[in-house]
Structure 1
Amino acid sequence: MGTVEHTLLRLATAGSVDDGKSTLVGRLLHDCKAILADQIAHVKTVSEARGGDFDFALLTDGLRAEREQGITIDVAYRYFATDKRSFILADCPGHVQYTRNTVTGASTADVVIILVDARHGVLEQTRRHLAVAGLLRVPHVVLAVNKIDLVNYDEAVFKGIAKDVDQLADQLGIADVQAIPVSALVGDNVVERSEQTSWYDGPTLLEFLENASGRIDVSGQPLRFPVQYVIRPQTDDEYRDYRGYTGTVASGTVSVGDPVIVLPAGRRTSIVGIDRAVVTATSTAVAERPSAVAGEAVTVRLADDIDVARGSVIVAADASPGTRRELSATVCWLSERPLTVGARLLIKHTTTTAQAIVTKISGALDLDTLGVIDATGLELNDIGKVQLKIAAPLAADPYTSNNITGSFLLIDAHDGWTLAAGMIDHEEGEPL
């Protein structure tokens, strides 16, 4: 993997109930010295009162009270750092009914840690979490075979589970899976290498995380700049003729002088200025820039006074995706209300929100065979293929080419609830 500079890594954890996910996260944070002394003292007191050893799960079970009260559980984010890099950890609930939160946590992750109980092997949730990681094109998957101490550190058990997951990963197109035998309770191979697994010569969990590369650099891809806001000050000062278009560069690089196309209108123009706010403790100023790269929030100025609004996308003139009013896509259905053909929804794509109708449901993913089965509808947590007709043209790329302009949300037009996360297929369609 090579040496990685002190950069940010986003990771998500996923696993079935009682696989020890909370204990693993607690052990990782504790051994990285990312827990305050008063928190450790509190957990120690509670653990002793219960008559047990130090319960690492209590370090991360801040949502337990909410769960017991019936309050909706979302993804819990935690921040920690080592001498080598910083981390944002998305801790996703393990119950089947919370798979939708795994989609949320994994959608921006560089690494997904999937826990498997060494005693139980691959379960339905393991397959589901691997499918989500594969669909979202997460760069790295860590298979943490937990509770290895409870199977007497048996190498054959570990290798059997790793082989099963490797076969699933091949079917799902997951290129990088690192299997690690761990005991979250004892601490084996979490931060410190275990003497009990002399047969294992791979990295500890922390070693892997400290050296894993992040998501693919999209600055070399074609320019995609979704317009979020139009700036046109109504003043009499030097900015009275100013007209700028604010947003975040989704991919590629934008430079002064670049020829571009504004979609969906299809008008050609060029970039004449790039501005970025410079904020200090006492003032805010605007600084001109020669260029901006993916991830930067800037305001661009165009050579021509053309019709540009929120939802427009400024793209490279020589690599335009064109626009689509019909999409074939793979969706993770996140609602308790089933999806049926003919459903009228809202689609949220980059900065555009438009009406959409489901014209076809082509099938659903069978988690046992990882094949596609016929389906007339999608239920909560189903992963399926649908076709949509959109009321407004979208500047959309396939998800495999661009995970920002290739992704979308489906929203209930009446109450605003998010119903599905979607990934756009190639025009000719792709298998699940």
Structure 2
Amino acid sequence: MAPVDTDTQSTQHAGIDPHSALAEAAAKIAAASKDIVRIATAGSVDDGKSTLIGRLLYDSKAVFEDQYAAIEKASRGDHVDLSLLTDGLRAEREQGITIDVAYRYFTTPRRTFVLADTPGHVQYTRNMVTGASTADLAIVLVDARKGMLEQSRRHAFLASLLRVPHLVVAVNKMDLVDWSQDVFEAIRDEFTAFATKLELPDLTVVPVSALKGDNVVTRSENTPWYGGASLLHHLETVHVAGDRNLVDARFPVQYVIRPQSDAHHDYRGYAGTVAGGVLRPGDEVQVLPSGLTTTIAAIDGPSGPVDAAFPPMAVTLRLADDLDVSRGDLVCRPQNAPQVTQDLDAMVSWMSEEPLRPRQRLVVKHTTRSVRAVVKEVLYRLDVNTLHREDGTAELGLNDIGRVRLRTTQPLFVDDYHRNRVTGRFILVDEATNATVGAGMLSPA
């Protein structure tokens, strides 16, 4: 990889020019290692999310014969219910809906995919937030017979709020509207108009039939008027390497490695996952919160030393100097450090039945660092259907999203969420139960 001065490029907030030498090199390495693409599906109830994922798994040969035989036996009617591949809970099968987030994995010759099937019901909005928080791409399904519903808008907004870089609208059940081009284009135009109010950098609309497989893996003869690619082809070719921030070096330390064997008694490494930027041996770095500087002596990967590390590689850094570095510390560039603060102003998605109220005490888990915090103020609640702010709100209830101010007992090393989705997010944990009760995104007001 050609050397690049990442500090001089720090004015580019998210990622780098996708046509630059660094982005091209990162894309080649990602392709060679079969880059993992994380996908979240969303939509209203009965739009066919689980069936679509089942179709993707089945048509891409990711279903074992015994699995297919089991769902074939459990299916009702004259067709195999592929949604049973993802709806694993008994309550889900009884009600015919998705309740929890189901993760499924499959591989094609081009990529490896992690699919999160998220629920469509309003009361499970928190599950959709969970599934989309780490997604590279979101698929929102729309029933061709019903058109855009409130939940369609809700999930598109949540994908925008969570900064999912790519959004695909799958207009499903086209076979039930006789493959009408007018119906498809009306939904496409309505969704495109709504998307202009949101921050959605990449929007693609595809007509599909998840039940019959049209335009899911291969192009369908039933839509000669559609000139785009099939859904799977789009998933395989969408450019995700340029979405990662290769400018701002961020390395949260997760674990200190000190082997006890005589052969490695001098080894001291700091393990973690690169959250941003590119790190190389010889680079000058700073360790927070101490502020001490040193250089990277070597970088070790799972298979041995590597010449460069970038997101989302899991590596071990060896530093030239013997510094006091522990879990929760962060390695960055001296001239390009994150904000060090104890005051958090964030959009919070509340996930607990007990409301979020001022003066409430919680634990903030940010990257590999956990600190106690107190809620200073609830500024407003956001109506995700109208996108209007409801000022004067005293609390946030279950599935509410609003702006909250918190004060932590120790400093955190943060970036704006739009600049770095890893260092710009955190979760809130109840001290008494250790349950995750909220998720926050640091963003300008």
Root-mean-square deviation (Å): 2.6
Instruction: Extract structure 1 runs of 4+ deviating beyond 6 A.
Output: 1-4
Which secondary structure state, in structure 1, belongs to the residue aligned with residue 353 of structure 2? coil
Q: Distance in 1 between matches of 2:263 and 2:77?
A: 72
- Residue 277 (structure 1) shift: 5.4
- Residue 254 (structure 1) shift: 2.0
Q: Distance in 1 between matches of 2:308 and 2:175?
A: 54
- Residue 62 (structure 1) shift: 2.3
Q: Distance in 2 between matches of 1:350 and 1:59?
A: 32
For residue 248 of structure 2, the aligned residue among 210, 219, 222 is: 222
Tell me: CA distance 1:378–1:310, structure 2 relative to 1, closer, same or farther (3 Å).
same
Verify: 1:268 aligned to 2:293, yes or no. yes
Q: Residues 170-209 of structure 1: matches in 2 within 5 Å? A: 170-209=196-235
* Count of residue pairs the alignment pairs up: 414
Q: Distance in 2 between matches of 1:226 and 1:42?
A: 44
Q: Distance in 2 between matches of 1:194 and 1:244?
A: 53
Q: Distance in 2 between matches of 1:44 and 1:312?
A: 51
Q: Distance in 1 between matches of 2:68 and 2:306?
A: 48
Verify: 1:337 aligned to 2:362, yes or no. no
Which whole-Å deviations, capped at 9, do the CAs of 1:208-246 have from their partners, x for residues lacking one? Answer: 1121122535462221111122334567x4644544322
For residue 329 of structure 2, the aligned residue among 302, 312, 317 is: 312
Quote the residue 1:282 is aligned against.
none
Paired amino acid for 2:435: W
Share of identical aligned residues, percent? Answer: 53
Output the TM-score relative to the length of structure 1: 0.87
Quote the residue 1:396 is aligned against.
414
Verify: 1:419 aligned to 2:437, yes or no. yes
Task: Say if 1:233 and 1:240, in contact at 8 Å, map to a contact too.
Answer: yes
Q: Residues 315-326 of structure 1: matches in 2 within 5 Å? A: 315-326=332-343
Tell me: CA distance 1:358–1:168, structure 2 relative to 1, closer, same or farther (3 Å).
farther
For residue 426 of structure 2, the aligned residue among 395, 402, 408 is: 408
Range 121-130 or range 299-308, more displaced? 299-308
Tell me: CA distance 1:298–1:154, structure 2 relative to 1, closer, same or farther (3 Å).
closer
For residue 166 of structure 1, the aligned residue among 192, 197, 220 is: 192
Q: Distance in 1 between matches of 2:269 and 2:74?
A: 57
Paired amino acid for 1:384: G
Quote the residue 1:258 is aligned against.
283
Task: Say if 1:258 and 1:270, in contact at 8 Å, map to a contact too.
Answer: yes
Paired amino acid for 2:326: A
Task: Say if 1:335 and 1:419, in contact at 8 Å, map to a contact too.
Answer: yes
Q: Distance in 1 between matches of 2:87 and 2:375?
A: 39
Which secondary structure state, in structure 2, belongs to the residue aligned with residue 261 of structure 1? strand
- Residue 289 (structure 1) shift: 4.7
Which whole-Å deviations, capped at 9, do the CAs of 1:358-399 have from their partners, x for residues lacking one? Answer: 112222221232122222211111121111111111111111
Verify: 1:382 aligned to 2:400, yes or no. yes
Verify: 1:371 aligned to 2:371, yes or no. no
Which whole-Å deviations, capped at 9, do the CAs of 1:123-171 have from their partners, x for residues lacking one? Answer: 2221221122111211211111111222232222222222222222221
Paired amino acid for 1:191: V
Quote the residue 1:25 is aligned against.
53
Q: Distance in 2 between matches of 1:340 and 1:62?
A: 35
Range 12-21 or range 348-357, more displaced? 12-21
Q: Distance in 2 between matches of 1:412 and 1:15?
A: 30
Output the TM-score relative to the length of structure 2: 0.85
For residue 35 of structure 1, the aligned residue among 47, 59, 63 is: 63
Q: Distance in 2 between matches of 1:265 and 1:222?
A: 19
Which secondary structure state, in structure 1, belongs to the residue aligned with residue 54 of structure 2? helix
Task: Say if 2:165 and 2:243, in contact at 8 Å, map to a contact too.
Answer: no
- Residue 414 (structure 1) shift: 0.9
Quote the residue 2:378 is aligned against.
361
Which secondary structure state, in structure 1, belongs to the residue aligned with residue 88 of structure 2? coil
Task: Say if 2:269 and 2:316, in contact at 8 Å, map to a contact too.
Answer: yes
Verify: 1:145 aligned to 2:171, yes or no. yes
For residue 135 of structure 1, the aligned residue among 150, 161, 167 is: 161
Quote the residue 1:292 is aligned against.
309
Quote the residue 1:9 is aligned against.
37
Tell me: CA distance 1:348–1:67, structure 2 relative to 1, closer, same or farther (3 Å).
farther
Q: Distance in 1 between matches of 2:431 and 2:184?
A: 48
Quote the residue 1:122 is aligned against.
148
Task: Say if 2:86 and 2:104, in contact at 8 Å, map to a contact too.
Answer: no
Q: Distance in 2 between matches of 1:248 and 1:44?
A: 41
Q: Distance in 2 between matches of 1:177 and 1:25?
A: 20
Q: Distance in 2 between matches of 1:15 and 1:222?
A: 34
Quote the residue 1:109 is aligned against.
135
Tell me: CA distance 1:217–1:169, structure 2 relative to 1, closer, same or farther (3 Å).
closer
Structure 1 residue ranges without an equivalent (≥5): 279-286
Task: Say if 1:139 and 1:215, in contact at 8 Å, map to a contact too.
Answer: no
Quote the residue 1:61 is aligned against.
87
Q: Distance in 1 between matches of 2:38 and 2:281?
A: 32
Which secondary structure state, in structure 2, belongs to the residue aligned with residue 340 of structure 1? coil
Range 398-407 or range 166-175, more displaced? 166-175
Task: Say if 2:275 and 2:311, in contact at 8 Å, map to a contact too.
Answer: yes
Which whole-Å deviations, capped at 9, do the CAs of 1:305-333 have from their partners, x for residues lacking one? Answer: 43322111111112012401101111211
Structure 2 residue ranges without an equivalent (≥5): 1-17, 20-26
Q: Residues 243-254 of structure 1: matches in 2 within 5 Å? A: 243-254=268-279
Q: Residues 71-110 of structure 1: matches in 2 within 5 Å? A: 73-110=99-136
- Residue 408 (structure 1) shift: 0.7
Task: Say if 2:355 and 2:395, in contact at 8 Å, map to a contact too.
Answer: yes
